[in-house]
Amino acid sequence: MSSTKPEGKAKKYNSVTNNHDASSVEMMKIHFPDGLIVEVSGPYCTPQEWASRTSMTEDEVKQALYDRRMARHQFSPRGDLFVNVVMETRRLLDAKPWNR
Decide if 50 is inside a domain: yes
pLDDT higher than threshold 80 for residue 37: yes
In terms of residue numbers, what domain contains 68? 26-95
In percent, the amount of the chain with pLDDT more than 70 equals 71
Decide if 18 is inside a domain: no
Number of domains in the chain: 1
Decide if 15 is inside a domain: no
Decide if 9 is inside a domain: no
Distance CA 65, CA 79 (A): 13
In percent, the amount of the chain with pLDDT more than 90 equals 39
Decide if 57 is inside a domain: yes
Decide if 44 is inside a domain: yes
Please indicate, yes or no, whether the overall pTM of this predicted structure exceeds 0.75: no
